[in-house]
Amino acid sequence: MSPNPPSPVARTAGVLDVARLKRDFPVFERTARGKRLVYLDSAASSQHPRQVLQAMDHYYEHSHANVHRGVYELAEEADDLYDQARRAVGRFVGAADPEREVIFTKNATESVNLVASTWGRHSLRSGDVVVLTEMEHHANVVPWLMLADEIGLELRWLEIDDQYRLDLEPLDRLVDGARLVAVTAMSNVLGTIPPLRQITETAHAAGAVVLADGAQLVPHQRVDVAELGIDFLAFSGHKMLGPTGIGVLWARRSLLEAMPPFLGGGGMIRDVRRDGFVANELPWKFEAGTPPIAEAVGLAAAIEYLEELGMDAVAAHDHDLTAYALASLQERFGDELLIHGPRSAEGRGAVLSLAYRDIHPHDLAQVLDQAGVCVRAGHHCAKPLMRRLGVGATARASFYVYNDEADVDALADALAEAGTLFG
Amino acid sequence: MSGLEDLYREIILDHYRSPRNRGELPTPPAQRAEGFNPLCGDEVVVYVQVDDGILSDIRIAGQGCSISQSSASLMSAAVKGKPLSEVRALIDTFKAMMSIHQSSLASQAGDAAEGPGISEDPAAAPGDRVVATSSSPDADDAARDDLDDAFEPEPVDPEALGELAALQGVVKFPVRIKCATLSWNTLAQGLDEAAAR
């Protein structure tokens, strides 16, 4: 339904043709601080190809109406687009039953909160065990802390080893008696990608369900929920070339059926009387109020774009660029540059948390900004991990489909300038 | 790099590399106040010793970026041994510089602040707070003060600020203003608490 099909496949022999692909992204027509824009903050939020923006514009200009309520042509079209988006998301993550198992939310954070508020409050009792990891984003920590405050959970923590990988040695012991293992599919600080399938098998053997925070991994690799065996998957649209304001919760149908509704209101009910209500069927039971329709259309266009590139090509591109960055930064800066994360590109994503000499991350980010290089400085919503690393903040560079080796070189040049300035 | 030279003046880098009055003071008799910027994790701890209306000693602890640490160091050198009335006046003057220049610089520095937002004090950004305060967060109060000043600007005499004037380049970098004001808000809080004791 998008007005223009995605660009012809911009890849050559498994590797993305970045120069060509970049022309799809209007933002790269601008400069930053008068320099070439080097956007290295996609782990926070990615940029948008024209195809996504045009799909959303087209929806607003031609087919906007509220969903599920109208019999007229416009409303039918809006319904169709919204349903198509749900099917596209389901297809993208290998859902067995996309039309019931894919719930649209505001973002990955809301998806985790939905699980904590409904499945958690409904199924967990005082003293139940939830296993987390110390490299979780706050989105997969605070909802469980809130629930622990409310009903009294025992939280157990998987830790990282000195190679910044998840230490799975105590996993058997930690999952013993656990009800839930909530784990990131890829750390937004370290880039570490834990072996989700192995964790899930161990968790299931112990009788625990598994929630994966896929906010970082889903945009960068083919994620198949059936292959991984997980029970819940949360992710956001805006880190995968889509718009802000839309996220996804995928969950097994059997779990969703047993969960009470999340927010109450229109759309999520089958009947309402003065003395009660009957919840709607899946997936609408979890989608109260007018949903983010245009955002769903945009997300579907983003998925179409990524599928056109091929997720295996995206992953290979990430891997190659990360390997180049690790090698070239090491060669240029040696021990003066510390990377908080695995030193090999295997089993890690395209996220580099940097500490250069003793330059504070905010000062580093400020100098990089003057060179047009956009990185994020701060705790990256992972304060338990920051404590473990013994730092208050890091400067983080993250790569996506539109980044290339020239961007890594620009990062290195700007780091060198910072080194000169702070002597 | 011209913008960066405005921000990272040599005197700022000097105070960052060799911070003055670094350390702690025994409490009591000294008063300890802690300021925290949750956005970047910077923290500053200010110890003040007040004797007979004089800020007789001050020490700075904590950690943070070059702007927050050098501002704290410059502040400690500027207020040590001064009567409290002068210290209070200097706090006001410094915070005025951190807001007035925002609007006066806007006309000359196109990329610093554009359009109708220029009278807004970025120091009022949500999340900027000083911990351990009583009612409303100190930083918000400070921001409101700054905003008032912005409506009726009083000229800040760079002479009165001495070395502190080196920090005026910070206002061209709105997100860093709260780095520069962190220690000053914390000092004000420490003085309030010392007075209340």
d(CA A237, CA A298): 9
Place of tokens 């970098």: B173
Mutate to test the interface with B, among A358, A360, A391 (most CBs of B within 10 A): A360
Helix (H) or strand (E) run with residue A353 in it = strand A351-356
Residues 29-68 of A with CB under 8 A from B: 33
Q: In this predicted structure, what is the pLDDT of residue B151? A: 45
- Three-state secondary structure call for residue A170: coil
What are the two backbone dihedrals, phi and then psi, of residue A389, each rounded to the nearest 5 degrees?
-75, -15
pLDDT at A215 over 60: yes
Q: Which residue in A224, A222, A217, A223 sits closest to A239, CA to CA?
A: A217
Would you call A370 and B1 a contact, using CB atoms and an 8 Å cutoff? yes
**A362 touches B: beta carbon within 8 Å:** yes
pLDDT in tens, A328-369: 999 999 999 999 999 999 999 999 999 999 999 999 999 999
Q: In this predicted structure, what is the pLDDT of residue B2? A: 54
**A422 touches B: beta carbon within 8 Å:** yes
Would you call B179 and A362 a contact, using CB atoms and an 8 Å cutoff? yes
Instruction: Specify the fold of A310-422.
Output: Aspartate Aminotransferase, domain 1 (3.90.1150)
- More confident: A140 or A358: A140
Q: In this predicted structure, what is the pLDDT of residue B155? A: 58
Total residue count of chain B as it appears in this document:
197
Marked catalytic residue, from A381, A389, A411, A418:
A381
Over residues B107-119, the mean pLDDT reads: 40
Band (pLDDT 50/70/90 cuts) for residue A13 is very low
d(CA A360, CA A381): 18
Q: In this predicted structure, what is the pLDDT of residue B128? A: 40
Residue B65 is nearest to which of A363, A417, A423, comparing CB atoms?
A: A363
Would you call A393 and B41 a contact, using CB atoms and an 8 Å cutoff? yes
Q: Which residues of A18-38 are buried (b: 16+ CB within 10 A; e: fewer)?
A: beebbebbeeeeeebeeeebb
Cα diameter, chain A: 72
For B178, residues 6+ apart whose C-beta sits below 8 A from its C-beta are: B37, B39, B122, B123, B125, B128, B139
Residues of A in contact with B66 (CB under 8 A): 360, 363, 422
Specify whether the CB–CB gap between A134 and A187 falls below 8 A: no
Tokens matching residue A90: 């389901």
- Three-state secondary structure call for residue A390: coil
Residue B4 is nearest to which of A370, A392, A393, comparing CB atoms?
A: A370
- More confident: B18 or B146: B18
**From the CB of residue A398, how many other CB atoms can be counted at a distance below 10 Å?**
28
For A288, residues 6+ apart whose C-beta sits below 8 A from its C-beta are: A261, A262, A263, A264, A265, A266, A267, A268
Q: In this predicted structure, what is the pLDDT of residue A1? A: 44
Q: Which residue in A105, A136, A116, A77 sits closest to A380, CA to CA?
A: A136
pLDDT in tens, B49-108: 999 999 999 999 998 899 999 999 999 999 999 999 999 999 998 998 888 654 454 444
Q: In this predicted structure, what is the pLDDT of residue B156? A: 63
Q: Which residue in A395, A383, A377 sits closest to A340, CA to CA?
A: A395
pLDDT at B138 over 50: no
The DSSP output letter for A220 is T
Q: In this predicted structure, what is the pLDDT of residue A371? A: 96
Partners of A272 in the beta sheet?
A277
Residues 203-232 of A with CB under 8 A from B: none
Would you call B4 and A366 a contact, using CB atoms and an 8 Å cutoff? yes
Mean pLDDT, chain B, whole residue set: 75
Q: In this predicted structure, what is the pLDDT of residue B152? A: 47
**A367 touches B: beta carbon within 8 Å:** yes
Min CA distance, B40 vs chain A (Å)? 5
Partners of A130 in the beta sheet?
A155, A180
**A386 touches B: beta carbon within 8 Å:** yes
Helix (H) or strand (E) run with residue A388 in it = helix A383-389
pLDDT in tens, A52-77: 999 999 999 999 999 987 899 999 99
**B196 touches A: beta carbon within 8 Å:** no
User: Which three-class secondary structure string do you get for chain B?
Assistant: CHHHHHHCCHHHHHHHHCCCCECCCCCCCCEEEEEEECCCCEEEEEEEEEECCEEEEEEEEEECCHHHHHHHHHHHHHHCCCEHHHHHHHHHHHHHHHHHHHHHHHCCCCCCCCHHHHHCCHHHCCCCECCCCCCCCHHHHHHHHHHHHHHCCCCCCHHHHHHHHHHHHHHHCHHHHHHHHHHHHHHHHHHHHHHHC
CATH number of A56-307: 3.40.640.10
Min CA distance, B197 vs chain A (Å)? 32
Q: In this predicted structure, what is the pLDDT of residue A255? A: 98
Peptide bond into B28 cis (omega under 30): yes
Total residue count of chain A as it appears in this document:
423
Q: Which residue in A102, A187, A199 sits closest to A139, CA to CA?
A: A187
pLDDT in tens, A141-188: 999 999 999 999 999 999 999 999 999 999 999 999 999 999 999 999
Band (pLDDT 50/70/90 cuts) for residue B129 is very low
d(CA A368, CA A366): 5
Q: Which residue in A226, A229, A233 sits closest to A185, CA to CA?
A: A233
Mutate to test the interface with A, among B66, B67, B68 (most CBs of A within 10 A): B66
pLDDT at B148 over 50: no
pLDDT in tens, A361-405: 999 999 999 999 999 998 999 999 999 999 989 999 999 999 999
pLDDT in tens, A64-111: 999 987 899 999 999 999 999 999 999 999 999 999 999 999 999 999
Nearest residue of A to residue B39, measured between CA atoms? A378
Peptide bond into A195 cis (omega under 30): no
Euclidean distance between the first and final Cα of chain A, in Å? 56
pLDDT in tens, A256-282: 999 999 999 999 999 999 999 999 999
Q: What is the CATH number of the domain that holds B9?
A: 3.90.1010.10
pLDDT in tens, A282-310: 999 999 999 999 999 999 999 999 999 99
pLDDT at A28 over 60: yes
Tokens matching residue A402: 């539109």
Q: In this predicted structure, what is the pLDDT of residue B132? A: 34
Q: In this predicted structure, what is the pLDDT of residue A384? A: 95
Q: Where are the domains of chain A?
A: 56-307, 310-422
pLDDT at B135 over 60: no
Min CA distance, B95 vs chain A (Å)? 21
Q: In this predicted structure, what is the pLDDT of residue B32? A: 94
Query: Domains in chain B: how many in total?
Result: 1
Q: In this predicted structure, what is the pLDDT of residue A69? A: 74
Question: Any catalytic annotation for residue A381?
Answer: yes
pLDDT at A223 over 80: yes
- Kindly provide the ipTM of the predicted complex, given to two decimals: 0.76
Would you call B66 and A367 a contact, using CB atoms and an 8 Å cutoff? no
Nearest residue of B to residue A363, measured between CA atoms? B65
Min CA distance, B66 vs chain A (Å)? 7
Domain of B65, in residue numbers: 2-196
Mean pLDDT, chain A, whole residue set: 95
Band (pLDDT 50/70/90 cuts) for residue B157 is low
Whole-angstrom CA distances from A122 to A116, A177, A191, A207, A261 are 9, 18, 33, 17, 10
Over residues A320-330, the mean pLDDT reads: 97
Residues of A in contact with B176 (CB under 8 A): 362, 366
Q: In this predicted structure, what is the pLDDT of residue A159? A: 98
Whole-angstrom CA distances from B58 to A42, A275, B18, B181, B190 are 43, 66, 16, 17, 11
